[in-house]
């Protein structure tokens, strides 16, 4: 992944002329080319702060090949992929970069690094795929002398496979595709397909409670995790007992899932795996409006009809047809209503019966079938949407996503509140705010927003004002501050509203126990 793009330059999707025209018309955007992208070599990074002695000591632990102060290496680990992260690359400001990048190869090395850094008061930011959109990987020095980026990308083994128990242990540095490739050799899959799938890593999925597009079928990533190996400054922990479920006290896995590098470094994750499905079935539907669609997908969740994927786009997203990114702005055939994509996987009989039951519920709620094609198109293009953001940014157009979740009884109100907060606070032009429901539960669902708006002359300030107003709206209107992006720096101010002051104290107590000096990803989460 390029430091300043989602994906690589080759994967980029330049906007068609029709889209540029549309954006100019709608948002007053000024079409430009990729001229605002500053080459990596010209970007100014903070001066590295490690002493020669410290650098040498770290090299002694992991080997000189695995400690780097190279400009490009530091640059690539200085930011995640949020809109403000990407904006930064287009300014001439000095970017705060890690003082070094270190890549231990074993848990013993990680432990030694953490113990050394505790003694030397060097902050440690664990780095996997770098796809955080909430500031999770950005190096925060805090009160410490220096900050290093600890790369887990040497933990890339498929450690073991238990075919009988449907469990496998994966190295934390494996990306989604790399993990699926290794599992595929055994006829297995993980089934976790977040938008960041091509780049994000197994460790990051666990650390940030990722949720993938097939969560209806395979569950959130946190529900797939059987056990974790976590290296803390106080020692190496194997977390997760010998059974799939237990009453042997609190479930400590759930303290590390979502800990975002603040307690230790996740190096291995034991996960539930599945045979590669024999068949996939597809069907798309249309609802007259979002409310009708929500009622339908709620019934699917509560009756447990069993789709692998189900997502409902609101009117705007359906008409902009983000499901087919190649054709954005070109294929509005006068369809109205809300599109609902469904997919079903498993044995032929299993997929067929889940399809039939889901379909019957959707039709009973007023759905009209659109056939297979829109669902297949969505599947093909599903990892491509974020690439568009770079092209829009080239044209001074904000494109960012936000997400939350709430109960079904609150979902329409929360959606309205978020749309209003964004609309009111991105004032240079009309904004386009699209929304979809893509993760459903018996009690509620996620809401995923995509915002497209004209950039003001002070784009950072413009964005942070809108983001803060939106976060306040989410908290005020009963949403969680994040359903699957995590907390990082960006959502940190809102955590206490969700878990209370005693909740914060519990997290601090866990941190004090495992990381008494506080070097692990300071300034993040809480």
- Contact, 202 vs 172, CB < 8 A? yes
- Contact, 274 vs 218, CB < 8 A? yes
516 touches its own copies by CB under 8 A: no
Contact region with its own copies (CB under 8 A), list: 94-102, 108-116, 314-322, 485-493: 485-493
The three-class DSSP label of residue 25 is helix
Contact region with its own copies (CB under 8 A), list: 25-33, 37-45, 82-90, 435-443: 435-443
d(CA 221, CA 325): 26
Cα atoms found within 13 Å of the Cα of residue 178, Cβ hemisphere only: 19
260 touches its own copies by CB under 8 A: yes
Contact region with its own copies (CB under 8 A), list: 24-32, 76-84, 122-130, 403-411: 403-411
Contacts of 146 (CB under 8 A, 6+ apart): 48, 49, 50, 54, 99, 100, 120, 122, 123
483 touches its own copies by CB under 8 A: yes
Phi and psi of 145, rounded to 5°? -65, -35
Build a one-symbol-per-residue string for 29-68: x at contacts with its own copies by CB under 8 A, - elsewhere: ----------------------------------------
Q: Is 184 annotated as a binding residue?
A: no
468 touches its own copies by CB under 8 A: no
Whichever of 66 and 441 has its CB closer to its own copies, that residue is 441
Contact region with its own copies (CB under 8 A), list: 42-50, 388-396, 434-442, 453-461: 434-442
505 touches its own copies by CB under 8 A: yes
232 touches its own copies by CB under 8 A: yes
429 touches its own copies by CB under 8 A: no
| Residues 109-168 contacting its own copies, CB under 8 A | 162, 164-167
Whichever of 95 and 473 has its CB closer to its own copies, that residue is 473
Q: Is 437 annotated as a binding residue?
A: no
Contact region with its own copies (CB under 8 A), list: 50-58, 119-127, 258-266, 280-288: 258-266
Binding residue for its own copies (CB under 8 A) from 250, 333, 334, 457?
250
372 touches its own copies by CB under 8 A: no
Binding residue for its own copies (CB under 8 A) from 25, 35, 41, 243?
243
350 touches its own copies by CB under 8 A: yes
Phi and psi of 105, rounded to 5°? -110, -10
CA dihedral 476, 482, 487, 493 (to 10 degrees): 0
Build a one-symbol-per-residue string for 317-346: x at contacts with its own copies by CB under 8 A, - elsewhere: -----------------------------x
d(CA 17, CA 22): 9
What's the helix, strand, coil split of the chain in %, to 5? 40, 20, 40
Whichever of 142 and 241 has its CB closer to its own copies, that residue is 241
Q: Distance between terminal CA atoms of the chain?
A: 29
The three-class DSSP label of residue 153 is coil
The b/e string for 143-152 (b: 16+ C-beta within 10 A; e otherwise) is ebebbbbbbb
User: In whole angstroms, what separates CA 415 from the centre of its chain?
Assistant: 20
**448 annotated active-site:** yes
17 touches its own copies by CB under 8 A: no
Whichever of 208 and 421 has its CB closer to its own copies, that residue is 208
238 touches its own copies by CB under 8 A: yes
Given 193, 218, 282, 448, the catalytic residue: 448
Tokens of residue 138, six digits? 């950005």
Closest CA to 392 of 12, 80, 8: 12
Q: How many chain residues are in contact with its own copies, going by CB under 8 A?
A: 96
Q: Is 389 annotated as a binding residue?
A: yes
Q: What is the DSSP string of 299-312?
A: HHHHHT---SEEEE
476 touches its own copies by CB under 8 A: no
Binding residue for its own copies (CB under 8 A) from 214, 480, 489, 521?
480
Q: Is 220 annotated as a binding residue?
A: no
Cα atoms found within 13 Å of the Cα of residue 209, Cβ hemisphere only: 17
Q: Is 263 annotated as a binding residue?
A: yes
Whichever of 211 and 429 has its CB closer to its own copies, that residue is 211
SS3 assignment for 158-210: EEEEECCCCEEEEECCCEHHHHHHHHHCCCEECCCCCCCCCCCEHHHHHHCCC
Number of neighbouring beta carbons within 10 Å of residue 376: 16
CA dihedral 328, 334, 337, 342 (to 10 degrees): -60
Binding residue for its own copies (CB under 8 A) from 73, 189, 201, 211?
211
The least CB distance from residue 463 to its own copies, in Å, is 21
Contact region with its own copies (CB under 8 A), list: 3-11, 367-375, 377-385, 400-408: 400-408
Contacts of 105 (CB under 8 A, 6+ apart): 62, 63, 66, 154
- Residues annotated as catalytic are 448
Q: Which residues are annotated as a binding site for FAD?
A: 260-266
Q: Which residues are annotated as a binding site?
A: 260-266, 389
């Amino acid at each position: 992944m390029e430091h300043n793009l989602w994906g690589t330059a080759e994967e980029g999707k330049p906007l068609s002329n029709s889209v540029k025209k549309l954006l100019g018309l709608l948002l007053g955007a000024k079409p430009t080319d990729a001229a605002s992208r500053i080459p990596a070599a010209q970007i100014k990074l903070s001066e590295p702060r490690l002493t020669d002695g410290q650098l040498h000591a770290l090299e002694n632990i992991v080997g000189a090949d695995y400690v780097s102060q190279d400009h490009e290496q530091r640059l690539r680990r200085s930011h995640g992929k949020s809109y403000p992260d990407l904006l930064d690359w287009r300014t001439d400001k000095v970017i705060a970069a890690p003082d070094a990048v270190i890549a231990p190869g074993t848990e013993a090395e990680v432990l030694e690094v953490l113990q050394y850094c505790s003694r030397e008061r060097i902050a440690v930011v664990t780095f996997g795929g770098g796809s955080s959109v909430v500031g999770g990987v950005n190096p925060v020095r805090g009160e410490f002398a220096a900050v290093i980026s600890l790369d887990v990308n040497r933990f890339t083994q498929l450690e073991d496979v238990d075919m009988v128990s449907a469990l496998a242990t994966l190295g934390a540095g494996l990306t989604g595709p790399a993990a699926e490739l290794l599992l595929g050799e055994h006829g297995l899959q993980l089934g976790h397909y977040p938008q960041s799938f091509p780049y994000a890593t197994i460790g990051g999925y666990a650390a940030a409670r990722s949720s993938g597009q097939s969560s209806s079928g395979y569950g959130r990533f946190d529900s797939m995790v059987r056990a974790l190996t976590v290296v803390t400054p106080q020692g190496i922990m194997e977390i997760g007992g010998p059974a799939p479920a237990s009453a042997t006290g609190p479930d400590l896995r759930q303290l590390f899932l979502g800990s975002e590098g603040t307690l230790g470094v996740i190096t291995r994750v034991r996960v539930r795996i599945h045979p590669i499905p024999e068949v996939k079935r597809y069907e798309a539907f249309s609802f007259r409006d979002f409310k009708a669609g929500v009622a339908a997908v709620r019934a699917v969740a509560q009756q447990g009809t069993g789709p692998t994927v189900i997502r409902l786009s609101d009117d705007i997203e359906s008409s902009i047809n983000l499901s087919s990114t190649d054709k954005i702005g070109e294929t509005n055939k006068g369809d109205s209503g809300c599109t609902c994509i469904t997919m079903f996987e498993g044995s032929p009989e299993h997929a067929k019966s889940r399809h039939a039951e889901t379909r019957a519920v959707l039709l009973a709620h007023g759905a009209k079938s659109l056939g297979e094609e829109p669902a297949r198109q969505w599947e093909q293009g599903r990892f491509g949407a974020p690439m568009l953001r770079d092209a829009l940014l080239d044209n001074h157009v904000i494109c960012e996503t936000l997400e939350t979740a709430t109960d079904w009884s609150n979902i329409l109100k929360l959606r309205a509140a978020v749309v209003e907060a964004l609309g009111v606070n991105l004032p240079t032009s009309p904004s386009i705010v699209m929304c979809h429901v893509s993760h459903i539960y018996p009690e509620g669902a996620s809401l995923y927003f995509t915002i497209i708006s004209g950039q003001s002359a002070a784009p950072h300030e413009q964005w942070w004002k809108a983001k803060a107003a939106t976060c306040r709206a989410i908290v005020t209107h009963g949403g969680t501050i994040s359903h699957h992006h995590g907390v990082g720096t960006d959502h940190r101010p809102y955590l206490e509203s969700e878990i209370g002051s005693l909740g914060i104290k519990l997290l601090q107590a866990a941190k004090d126990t495992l990381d008494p000096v506080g070097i692990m990803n300071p300034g993040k989460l809480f």
